[in-house]
Structure 1
């Protein structure tokens, strides 16, 4: 229960006014419920002709003795003047009115909780999504996408179904139990003291059954994350699975994961399903014991209860059983939901390795140069990816990076927008360390065109305008023309309003790349990063894309990663990477004269 209180403390404060109203309504619900049951006493007294007659009135006072005296006085007056039948109607009418108030306040309490429940779940989803956007790329290299999706969907739904759906029980059931017990205490303190001894024993037995529920819930939700990861990998790699006739292997792998999930859920549901029958069985035992103990007191005239009061007392206790069952079910549900919340907290509590200083430098334009000074970097401590990199990139120049795969080229450019932070050394823009610059301003200076263009399942218009809120249709069309994309866009079914499918799947590779370039053109960044932007294209598409890139790179500072050396012959400086170091640098002609690694690569491609 301590974990639940922590969750409520984190997410309930914005809704404290509604919580207060819900608690108030539940108290009124319980009070009017007690009144409606208390009406049994005069009804039974009249039926058994055992109703205590009170013929004298007393001054009004707000205490139990006075209210009981006045109530019996008016009952006696009605019975004397109008008869027993009319008295039954009067008492029944009071019971109906009390029940109307009881159910009305119960609805109002539930009404307030609807807003609290849905609001908290919305807040959790929003926090997870915002946190995912704020986390650096290294976090996602350690986590499986399917498991992250599972936490955002399945675990949040589990919190909603378990914790949030139990809020009404958590706010209502204890209040009902407290008010009913207080009423019972007023009626007979001896019998209620006996009840106080029995209820904790029942609660201890129920708690023992649910002891391992949270652990099994964690296992089940983790396994579901693994299943979702496998499904995501299957959908992404369907072409390869079919090409290698691996359907049987993947089916077997999925079946094993699915079967393990079934076993975990069986263990979980067996324990959860035990809650209701166990609470009902224990409740019946307690009622029988109370009937025996209370009946003995009444028969021997040892207590303050009359026979009709004892029946009303039993009715009150019976009213406690349902809230107690609900509280038991809520306990089981909450245990399951807390396991889901723990998995969500793995994301919410994750520390970002890319931290911004308290008062970062605001930078709106790029004036002079980018400098890499003695930069070292490794993804883990075992292997250095970049070793003592020193490079100055003047404004307006094109710098090309070449070398074998894994030599550190992509890591070099990923360090500039701070997707990762250097381990040693520094990167400066116009003399200011990028660690001291606002992340928003730093990344605002740069535009990226990657080997695999990342597009969204939206219209062509919105994909080009992505990240540029103030773009006009004329500016978007102009960007598309510069990127050699306008002609094919106009040939699509709805032009710029055509939806391009998941990751742009309705377009060819060259078309997707040109949209990616148009997006960079529209942003109009002073620094441009091109990561093998033409390597995956056919000759015709490459020509169109290269023309678009030439248009984009004109009068900009460009860092180009290229495997096809023909695309970077005119670069102002070419840097050759080998095992994390820049081993050669110069223009195309200068590097050929050195007869080193660049010459070897150039000759291989020409051959």
Structure 2
């Protein structure tokens, strides 16, 4: 048993009484009657035990178990054992433990097949260890527990390329504070020296000094704004670039749980919120922090006793700010998520406008948008309510401090031996508002900071996410890839607990054409995703030319694989640019040659601008068949040793399909080709067909061999033949 596994004493005693050894155990958070509590699955060398309330509630001999499975339920899941006698329900668990039981199922099944060489240590990394909140992704950072000082340091660190300007900004800020605190001192001089003592000759000097200090303060603030605007714009520009670059190298698993609108929101909205803070909030914070301490020193110098009364409200303001932060921070995090969702819905509404209109779903779509918009409005109202309440509370607290100063200062300026002059008192009152001013508006800065930090956390979450593994320590370079592909007992799941590829093994010889066949959801496209390393298998190994994929750099691997996806994507550029995309130094003649091979040349030259025709966003100016042929031409010009066709002829008519098939026959000579097609007739010339069912290989053979077996493939051929015949008649085939 793994020494890292903690076994409760009662569990250990129950197993020892049976003269058994614990191989593995996993705790569930639901009891047999589906209530929250503790329940244990214990695997020994001969049986599986379910232990509940210090009793063994169920036991199954390992010899009777064929496999373990996890089933998804509302709010959780269920673990079942498949035996020769039927299905045995073992236990239930909540959504918090779905990843752990996915690992448990995999390990126990491996153990049943005598394939397991070591006991895994299953980490509880779906929950935050500090606040116990569910993590946005397994092993990720908890947005509630990110140290905000660390976030601030990271934001400030982004300004390191602009050190000179930052230092100049700090110097300008310090000088600005100096000229800001001069007017109350000049006021004291006017009252005590001119009004009280009658030195009217000095009035012009003091007035000039006051005007000059105000003018210099204005100039310095203008310079401050110019510098802070430039620095913040550069920081956000760099951050957006880093964020976009991080997205390009992100694992595909990162996007399976996120909507495109959420990513757009992070790049644009969250970065914009951060820029607002850097332009307005951070300079204000810097200026007023210096002012706060400078004025505090001046207040103590004028009268330390009155200053103590000024400080009485400060703890209330500080603790109040903490309360304000705790209330608003979760709201802004949720607000950012809702805005991302709103962007996704708006994007869908625009892209799917024709479908919405054709199905008369305008009202339904409006209802979906309004529902999310209402949630955003509710969050906005709640945050503004907290903000307004705190602002008014802060003003009252400050007024209370000023009232105390007036009450106790009267005795100090009256009487036979006054401690203060009238000028001192007026200067003191002036400095109080300079002292309280930063605290009063600190709530506004806190608002900016909270929103900026919430956005920064979402941005840094993407930047800090583990990118695709481009290289390993033992990267192998292949010169002249032959195209031999081998799967060895590959298991894969897009989501923990939902395995879609289950122990697949096969080998494709160099230059061989293999067709992948199966019903929708059988795992065909997933195998393509694994070959191109859009995803990595959970276990098992994939090799090209006898070398594990993980030992090849992603760039080398993907440059040697040409792929035509089921839904072709074209970039907003010309037809020629899209054909040449991903291939360096392409002659125009090569582009034409590839287009002719893909039977795209005739429709291209039929357009007014020919190869310079703009395809529009996602190729919206072209038909589905035209986009598909452009994608095929792109793969042809790529000229890779491995070619993948994922429903490459799905969007063309029967006549065009025959033309493309002739092109593909020429293209696949001496080239390893993997093809997926619902029209099974297009795979007749494949050297082999691999039939998939429920993520496993069901049949392998040629077209004729599989028909003779009269199995799944024969059933699929019979199902599709009538439809294909009808399509051929309709399309003139």
Segments of 5+ residues of structure 2 without an aligned counterpart are 1-144, 723-733
Counterpart CA distance in 2 for 1:237 and 1:551 is 38
Counterpart CA distance in 1 for 2:416 and 2:175 is 34
Q: How far off its partner does 1:344 sit? A: 3.6
Q: How far off its partner does 1:343 sit? A: 3.6
Counterpart CA distance in 2 for 1:382 and 1:247 is 37
The answer as to whether partners of 2:309 and 2:401 remain within 8 angstroms in 1 is no
1:488 alignment counterpart:
603
CA 1:156–1:301: 2 relative to 1, 3 Å: farther
1:122 and 2:237 correspond: yes
1:42 and 2:226 correspond: no
1:24 and 2:186 correspond: no
The answer as to whether partners of 2:249 and 2:468 remain within 8 angstroms in 1 is no
CA 1:240–1:106: 2 relative to 1, 3 Å: closer
1:414 alignment counterpart:
529
What SS is found at the alignment partner of 2:409? helix
The answer as to whether partners of 2:492 and 2:501 remain within 8 angstroms in 1 is yes
Q: How far off its partner does 1:368 sit? A: 5.6
Any idea what the Cα deviations from partners look like across 1:537-560, whole Å, max 9, x if unmatched? 222332343344334334322111
The answer as to whether partners of 2:483 and 2:672 remain within 8 angstroms in 1 is no
5 Å matches for 1:391-540? 391-540=506-655
1:201 and 2:348 correspond: no
The answer as to whether partners of 1:227 and 1:254 remain within 8 angstroms in 2 is yes
1:88 and 2:203 correspond: yes
Counterpart CA distance in 2 for 1:459 and 1:304 is 83
Counterpart CA distance in 1 for 2:559 and 2:551 is 15
1:6 and 2:160 correspond: no
Segments of 5+ residues of structure 1 without an aligned counterpart are 52-78
Any idea what the Cα deviations from partners look like across 1:64-94, whole Å, max 9, x if unmatched? xxxxxxxxxxxxxxx7xxxx43x32233333
Any idea what the Cα deviations from partners look like across 1:412-464, whole Å, max 9, x if unmatched? 22111111222332111121111111112111211110121111222223222
Any idea what the Cα deviations from partners look like across 1:150-195, whole Å, max 9, x if unmatched? 3333333333334653111111111111112222323333322332
What SS is found at the alignment partner of 2:181? helix
Counterpart CA distance in 1 for 2:657 and 2:529 is 24
Q: How far off its partner does 1:346 sit? A: 4.1
Q: How far off its partner does 1:382 sit? A: 4.2
Deviates more, 1:418-427 or 1:541-550: 541-550
Equivalent of residue 373 in structure 1, options 488, 499, 508: 488
Counterpart CA distance in 1 for 2:159 and 2:497 is 49
The answer as to whether partners of 1:4 and 1:334 remain within 8 angstroms in 2 is no
Q: How far off its partner does 1:354 sit? A: 5.6
Counterpart CA distance in 1 for 2:524 and 2:211 is 80
CA 1:316–1:382: 2 relative to 1, 3 Å: closer
The answer as to whether partners of 2:228 and 2:278 remain within 8 angstroms in 1 is no
1:290 alignment counterpart:
405
CA 1:301–1:351: 2 relative to 1, 3 Å: farther
CA 1:164–1:552: 2 relative to 1, 3 Å: farther
Counterpart CA distance in 1 for 2:584 and 2:423 is 75
Any idea what the Cα deviations from partners look like across 1:310-348, whole Å, max 9, x if unmatched? 222222223334333332310133223333334444434
Question: Which has the bigger relative contact order, CA under 8 A and spacing at least 6?
Answer: 1
Counterpart CA distance in 2 for 1:469 and 1:289 is 77
The answer as to whether partners of 1:379 and 1:385 remain within 8 angstroms in 2 is yes
Equivalent of residue 145 in structure 1, options 260, 266, 271: 260
TM-align CA RMSD: 2.8
More strand by share: 2
Counterpart CA distance in 1 for 2:707 and 2:320 is 83
Q: How far off its partner does 1:24 sit? A: 2.2
CA 1:14–1:337: 2 relative to 1, 3 Å: closer
What SS is found at the alignment partner of 2:494? coil
5 Å matches for 1:61-100? 84-85=200-201, 87-100=202-215
CA 1:381–1:252: 2 relative to 1, 3 Å: closer
5 Å matches for 1:277-426? 277-300=392-415, 304-351=419-466, 356-367=471-482, 369-380=484-495, 382-426=497-541
Q: How far off its partner does 1:393 sit? A: 1.8
Counterpart CA distance in 1 for 2:707 and 2:317 is 87
1:250 alignment counterpart:
365
Counterpart CA distance in 2 for 1:207 and 1:114 is 29
The answer as to whether partners of 2:482 and 2:641 remain within 8 angstroms in 1 is no
CA 1:380–1:274: 2 relative to 1, 3 Å: closer
Counterpart CA distance in 2 for 1:479 and 1:549 is 12
Larger radius of gyration: 1
More helix by share: 1
The answer as to whether partners of 1:464 and 1:519 remain within 8 angstroms in 2 is yes
Equivalent of residue 223 in structure 1, options 323, 335, 338: 338
Any idea what the Cα deviations from partners look like across 1:215-239, whole Å, max 9, x if unmatched? 2222323223333333334344444
Count of residue pairs brought into register by the alignment: 575
